[in-house]
Amino acid sequence: MKPLLSRKNTTQFKDFATVLPALFFLGLFVYYPVVQVVRISFTNWNLINDNYKYVGLKNWIWLFEGSGTKYLLNSLKVTALYTMGELLVTIVGGMLFALIFNRISKSFSFMRALVFLPKYVAMSSAAVVFIWILNTDNGILNYFISKLGGEKINWLGDKNRALLSILMLTGWRTIGYGMMIYIASMRGISKNYYEAASIDGANSWTQFTKITLPILSPTTLFLFVTTFISAMKVFQSVDVLTSGGPYRSTEVIVYMIYKYAMVDFRMDRASTVAVLFFIILLVITAATMKVSNRSVNYDV
């Protein structure tokens, strides 16, 4: 009996030893920085002075009751609008493109590649290209608009159009990704479902709503969660195209954190907003996963 217990303990120790390096690096590069950010949010650390002391809830009071409240609410609104736009483009647009391009032929394979190709372009490089495309005086988009008889549009300098301009760049890069994910899932659906539905007299729309959409619900959940997280963390496109302007109309949460830390040098305020942002992401993601357990169909 003792040798058996000894072998069991040895096996458990070996198993633990194999994951110990991963746990170490996870703690060093993930959990330790999170703890440090929380700690800094209770200080008055300003990089110009490079010293700090603990001030309790002063930064949190500033964020929720002081001058930081209006900027926080604005950034939350901008981030929510951007996130809804990216979700719409990736999920709805990706679904529509998947239905259009889900054909097995060389020509459709080539067209799918063209739609998906922008995903491989770095966001910073794509943003620089879009600066020239959306340029008011010399941009190619305004050139075609003027040729059609329209007036030139100030895409990046108008607070009512700046966020839409960023979403144009986002849609160009992400719609192909959503399309490819949906096409891969669609090709895994058995044709027997559609044949049985056709025999029962179901038209194409009924087959799509009653068969395709329910079976693709796990894929939709995957795209929703991954797109939501990436959209909430958007930074590069905003930084290159508009720098949060004009008049903070594109100042998303991550850019707000960057601005407090690297422009105003207020690490304390940046950390406070970062902690709040982490809590928001955690709560929304947990709620999404909880709802999905009741509404998503994993049976094929």
Give domain status of residue 1, yes or no: no
What is the rounded CA–CA span in Å between residue 290 and residue 19? 29
What is the predicted pLDDT for the residue at 1?
45
- Predicted structure pTM score: 0.89
Give domain status of residue 221, yes or no: yes
CATH number reported for the structural domain that contains residue 115 in this entry:
1.10.3720.10
Domains: count for the chain? 1
The residue segments making up the domain with residue 199 are 81-230
Give domain status of residue 190, yes or no: yes
DSSP string over 127-172: HHHHHHHT-TTT-HHHHHHHHTTPPP--TTT-TTTHHHHHHHHHHH
Give domain status of residue 173, yes or no: yes
Averaged pLDDT, groups of 10, the chain, 300 residues long: 60 82 90 93 89 91 92 96 96 94 86 90 91 92 91 92 95 94 91 90 90 90 91 94 93 96 93 95 86 64
What is the predicted pLDDT for the residue at 280?
93
Give domain status of residue 30, yes or no: no
